[in-house]
Amino acid sequence: MRRRMVALLAGSAIACGNEPTATDLGDAVPDGPTATAAAPSAGRWIKRASYPLDVFDLTSASVTNPNTGKSTVYVIGGYRKCCGAGQITDAVKAYDAATNTWKSRAPYPVPIRSTNGAAEVDGKIYVTGGFTKWQPQPGGPWRLQTTKYLYVYTPSRNAWERKRDIPDFSVNGASVGYRGKLYVATGNVVWRYDPATDQWSRFADRPNRDWWDVAAGVIRGKLYLVEEYGGAMDILDLATGAWTSGPARPYRACGVASTDFRAKLYLFGWCDDYPTDSEIRDRALVFDPATSAWSDVALQPASVTADAGLARVFVNEQPRLSLVSGLRTGNHFHFIP
C-alpha cells in the first residue's frame, strides 16, 4: 500500500532536484488501438499525444468553448520523480483536444502538487490547497508545505490571479463547479466559494468522516463523494444541504481520478497493492445514480499511474474523458464510453 503524507505536516527532508523548464512541445499522435482489453466491460481507450514531461500527482481541468465546442485540458503542477519535494513543478500545459497537441501556458504561481483538484466555473479554472515546497536553509533539503491558496486561471488572458484563501490548510480534497459557485470537499467539510463576492462559507459538515483523496462529481444538483480506501459514498444535496448515503464502491482503490460525465460518476483508480495483477490494479468503475448501481468499464491503461488528472473533453462533438499521469511515453489516454 502506498504510504500517504499527513496533510498538515511540513514533511521530512527530501533531496533537492532541478525543476523542469516549460517549453512548447506538440507531439501529435493519431488515435491508436484500444489500449487495454476487457471484453465484458464497456467503453474503450485510445492513446493520445503524451504530456510532454514525466508527471505525477498533478491537477487537471478542462474548458469547452460554448461557441465552437472545442475543448482544452489544463494540466497543472505535479512532480517529476517520486516524492521529491525539490521536484515539484509550477508547469502548466494546455492540451488542444481538436488538434491533439500540447503547449505551455502561464505557470502556476507556486510549485504545486496534491491540490484539492481543479474545477471550471464560468470558463475559469479554480485551484485550492496542495503541497508546495520550501527550503528552510539555503542549500539544504526541500520540504513540503501545506497551503491555503486559491488561484484562478483565465484562459483568454493566460493569467493566474490569487483570490481569498480557502479557510483551512488542505490537500487531496475534491473540487466541483455548480451554478456559478465552487465547492471544495476536504477534511469533513464542504466549503463553498462565491466568485462574485470573493467569499468562502462553510456549506456543510459531514459528521464522523474525513475525506482523503476523495472522488467526486455533481449529478442533477447532488454532490457525490466516495472515500478512497473504504469506498463509502456520501451524497450532498446542493439545494438543501441534506446528506444521504449511497452504495459503497465494490472494491478498494487508491489515488482515484474521478469526474461526473453524462449523468454518471466515473472513477479510474490505481491500486499498487496488486502491482502485477492488472485486472485488479487497473479496474475502472462507473456509478449510475438512476439505478444506484456500480459497474465496471474497460480497464484503464496500465501505464497511467495513481493521482492522475481526469477531465471531460469533446472531439468532433464526441464526448470523452482525458486521463493524464505517468511517464511521458504513455501518460495520456482518452476514454470513450
Asked if 94 and 105 touch (Cβ cutoff 8 Å), the reply is yes
Is residue 286 in some structural domain?
yes
Q: Chain centroid to CA 81: how far?
A: 18
pLDDT for residue 20 is more than 50: no
Q: pLDDT tens across 226-268, in order?
A: 988 778 999 999 999 999 999 999 887 778 899 999 999 999 9
Which domain, by its residues, includes 83?
Answer: 44-336
**Segment (H or E) for 309:** strand 309-315
Q: pLDDT tens across 175-208, in order?
A: 999 999 999 999 899 999 999 999 999 999 987 7
pLDDT for residue 161 is more than 80: yes
Report angle CA 314, 317, 323 to the nearest 5 degrees: 20
Is residue 155 in some structural domain?
yes
Distance CA 177, CA 42 (A): 27
Which one-letter amino acid corresponds to residue 42? A
Arithmetic mean of pLDDT, 33-48? 63
Asked if 306 and 316 touch (Cβ cutoff 8 Å), the reply is no
Is residue 246 in some structural domain?
yes
Distance CA 105, CA 194 (A): 26
Arithmetic mean of pLDDT, 21-29? 32
pLDDT for residue 87 is more than 70: yes
Is residue 116 in some structural domain?
yes
Split into its structural domains, the chain has a count of: 1
What pTM did the predictor assign?
0.86
Q: At 234, which CATH number? A: 2.120.10.80
Is residue 159 in some structural domain?
yes
Instruction: Identify the pLDDT of residue 229.
Output: 77
Distance CA 77, CA 92 (A): 6
Is residue 97 in some structural domain?
yes
